Structure 1
Amino acid sequence: MKSRARSMLDKSIAAMLSAIEIYNKPDFNYREETFSVLCVNAWELLFKAKVLQLARNQVTNLYVWEHRQLKSGRKSKKKYIRNNRAGNPMSVSLFEAHRIIIEDYGVKVNKAVKTNITALAEIRDNSIHFINDDLSLAIKVQEIGTASLQNYLHLVQEWFGPVLDKYNFYLMPMAFFRGFDSVNGETLNASEKNLLQYINGIEKEYDNDAPSDYNLSLRIDVNFKKVKSGSGIPIQLTNDVKAPVVRLAEEEIMDKYPWDYDVLTTRLQKRYSDFKANGRYHSIRKSLEDNEKYCRRRLYNPSNPKSGSKVFFNSNILKEFDEQYTKNS
């Protein structure tokens, strides 16, 4: 049975695949707008899947909690779940889920990831003002969208293992859709000008950054060249039932042991009043690393047993630390 985190991840992947499929259609007049809506939705679901993974699949961690207004006019001390108009629990926003991951669990996420998603959200929010035949706006959407796909691939791999190996994640270059020399650009309205100025402004912040796995935007240059028929990338397929299966084991490891050192340390700092990341803490942690109930080493390259490894923890390890430190009241 799939965990809640994995079910949410599957929804996220489905949303991103839909965004790519719509964008790559040869004739679709609402291409950039629909892509931005689905891409942002995929990111929100990915962040929520990560929250669930970190929070032992407790869905209440995705709910909005608030202090209720009492008859006396004061706010209640106890927090209650906020419901939407349909009476269902209201879930946290995309950026609140991002904050929970970083601040409440100490997961490190490259700054360019949030900046990229913010730009996509602006494109989504302004989509009603788009003029599809304007080349400058369409190119900017593709540059930001391409970087967003790259960022998404790297984070899914890092957080959940090789679950995307069977998919092709790319946006068809615009040269396949239309000729750049023959596009009839239209005059941008005030909203579109403001949007492009905003995007160009945040891009300047990353102009001097070194090449990275995570980016705000990526520019694609397309060149057509004749090649020999045998010059493609060689691949080999197998239906050998005895071939080692790695993907399932990796997914299980990431689902059962979602915390790395930074997350564990952050959770302990928030949980105990007398906790310090000192020699005592390191000694307790290392004494538990050989216990598979709490800890597991994951290879950077699962297909190579000699590759480096990283230690991941199951949240049940908190029970051991509860005996050593004082919990916050």
Structure 2
Amino acid sequence: MARNSVLFDKSIAACISGIEIYNKPDFRYREETFTILMINAWELLLKAKILKDNKNQVQSIYVKEPKKLRSGEKSTKQTIVKKSRSGNPLSIELLRALDLVAFTDGSITAPLKENIVALCEIRDNAIHFKNDEPELGKLVLELGTASLKNYLNAVKMWFDKDLSRYNFYLMPMSFFHEFESMNSFSISKPSIQLEKLMSYLSEKVAQHKSDPDQEYNLLLRVETKFVKSSVEDALIVKQVRRREEAEDPDSVQEVILTEENVLLKFPWTHRELCLRLKKRYDTFKQDSKFKESIRELKKDTMLCHTRFANPFAEKSARTYFYSPNCIAIFFDKIYKIQPPLKVVSKVAAVDEA
């Protein structure tokens, strides 16, 4: 596998890990961990872009330093790869990678750069923030939402990859968010570090207005609210063999189900259904009462699935399959449930010798 592909896959893994951490129901270091992983995802993606543009030459992402001459002086022409304390080559850091990509690629905009820099500020100062500061949660949500949208656009533009199979969303919807209950007056004063960060971002936001329709943004605000749904807004599901049979054919949305999916929801044949009914109800018989109830049940597409031998023939042979839910929803209203058997134990008295 090419070097840029390896870094690209690691970048996607880091991004998904950040989303999974953020979306956990209860995680005490949520914002900081997401920010660290998102920064890591960006750094790997930018390095993958540099490698791709430089025919996978690993030297393109290494830190260079002047070569030391025998005289002890540093060369002004020759460079060598800088090594870490363990002797391994050092790769360039995030902002340097961002500058290199921006130099060769005109798609890097100011809002994108400022969004990444803002995430770096949170990462670099994470140790100074307290987890109970609600302003930090709101800030990371808005920065993170914009960063994920920016990330998807960059992946599509630089690598022509479709990531629609992943759910690249931070879930702002919950029954309670601390920052949603913030008032204009607060008893506790935000930390000095947070005040400085908010002031810094306020200046940047004033310079780069957010627009969901543009490719890259610094911040994206997310608003959620609950509304009551009317009956007209409800989703109606009805099974028809052909679009022309629907009341409003132009509004029909097609849903394709495989045989395996259908049988998972409707696993019972007519014979299996009768066995279940006989076991559950002491008064059950396959009489006229049962036949009438079956005719009614077959009209309910949520409890009964009709399979046609020829879907396009009006008088085609049919086979019916039933959902286990039909017991509680339909037949419990018709038949009397079999009472559980009572077990009576007899204990024989033993006379003492």
Task: Give TM class, smaller chain.
Answer: 0.5 to 0.7
Return closer, same or farther for 1:169/1:195 CA change in 2, 3 Å cut-off: same
- Letter aligned with residue 119 of structure 2: L
1:199-238 CA-partner distances (Å, limit 9, x unpaired): 112111113879412100000110223351349x968569
- The answer on 1:160 being equivalent to 2:166 is no
d(CA) in 2 for partners of 1:122, 1:155 = 21
Equivalent position of 2:96 in the other structure: 96
Corresponding residue to 2:235 among 214, 223, 229: 229
- The answer on 1:86 being equivalent to 2:86 is yes
- The offset of 1:70, in angstroms, is 2.8
d(CA) in 1 for partners of 2:212, 2:28 = 36
Equivalent position of 1:169 in the other structure: 168
1:146-194 CA-partner distances (Å, limit 9, x unpaired): 0000000001011112331210101111644536238988432211211
- Letter aligned with residue 35 of structure 2: S
Q: TM-score w.r.t. structure 1 length? A: 0.66
- Letter aligned with residue 65 of structure 2: E
Equivalent position of 2:181 in the other structure: 181
Where 1:66 maps in the other structure, the secondary structure is strand
The residue correspondences of 1:68-217 to structure 2 (distance < 5 A) are: 68-76=67-75, 77-103=77-103, 105-173=104-172, 175-178=174-177, 180-181=180-181, 186-207=188-209, 211-217=213-219
- Contact 2:210 2:219 (8 Å CA) reproduced: no
- Contact 2:82 2:90 (8 Å CA) reproduced: yes
Return closer, same or farther for 1:209/1:22 CA change in 2, 3 Å cut-off: closer
- The offset of 1:197, in angstroms, is 1.1
- Contact 1:12 1:43 (8 Å CA) reproduced: yes
CA RMSD of aligned residues (A): 2.6
1:215-271 CA-partner distances (Å, limit 9, x unpaired): 00000110223351349x9685698xxxxxxxxxxxxxxxxxxxxxxxxxxxxxxxx
Return closer, same or farther for 1:210/1:164 CA change in 2, 3 Å cut-off: closer
Equivalent position of 1:35 in the other structure: 34
- Contact 2:211 2:217 (8 Å CA) reproduced: no
1:116-142 CA-partner distances (Å, limit 9, x unpaired): 000000011111111222222210111
* Unaligned 5+ runs, structure 1: 240-329
d(CA) in 2 for partners of 1:27, 1:182 = 20
Equivalent position of 2:342 in the other structure: none
Return closer, same or farther for 1:181/1:99 CA change in 2, 3 Å cut-off: closer
- Letter aligned with residue 207 of structure 2: E
d(CA) in 1 for partners of 2:23, 2:187 = 21
* Unaligned 5+ runs, structure 2: 238-251, 259-353
- The offset of 1:57, in angstroms, is 1.0
| Deviation larger for 3-12 or 156-165 | 156-165
Q: TM-score w.r.t. structure 2 length? A: 0.62
d(CA) in 1 for partners of 2:90, 2:65 = 11
- Contact 1:19 1:35 (8 Å CA) reproduced: yes
Return closer, same or farther for 1:237/1:143 CA change in 2, 3 Å cut-off: farther
- Letter aligned with residue 112 of structure 2: V
- Letter aligned with residue 113 of structure 1: L
Return closer, same or farther for 1:157/1:82 CA change in 2, 3 Å cut-off: same
d(CA) in 2 for partners of 1:106, 1:40 = 20
Equivalent position of 1:299 in the other structure: none
- The offset of 1:72, in angstroms, is 2.4
Where 1:78 maps in the other structure, the secondary structure is strand
d(CA) in 2 for partners of 1:59, 1:238 = 48
Return closer, same or farther for 1:230/1:41 CA change in 2, 3 Å cut-off: farther
Where 1:169 maps in the other structure, the secondary structure is coil
- Letter aligned with residue 86 of structure 2: A
Equivalent position of 1:57 in the other structure: 56
Return closer, same or farther for 1:238/1:75 CA change in 2, 3 Å cut-off: farther
Residues matched between the structures, number: 236
Equivalent position of 1:20 in the other structure: 19
Where 2:190 maps in the other structure, the secondary structure is coil
d(CA) in 1 for partners of 2:143, 2:86 = 35
Structure exhibiting the larger radius of gyration computed from Cα positions: 2
d(CA) in 1 for partners of 2:56, 2:257 = 36
Return closer, same or farther for 1:78/1:182 CA change in 2, 3 Å cut-off: closer
Aligned sequence identity (%): 43
- Contact 2:210 2:220 (8 Å CA) reproduced: no
- The offset of 1:68, in angstroms, is 2.5
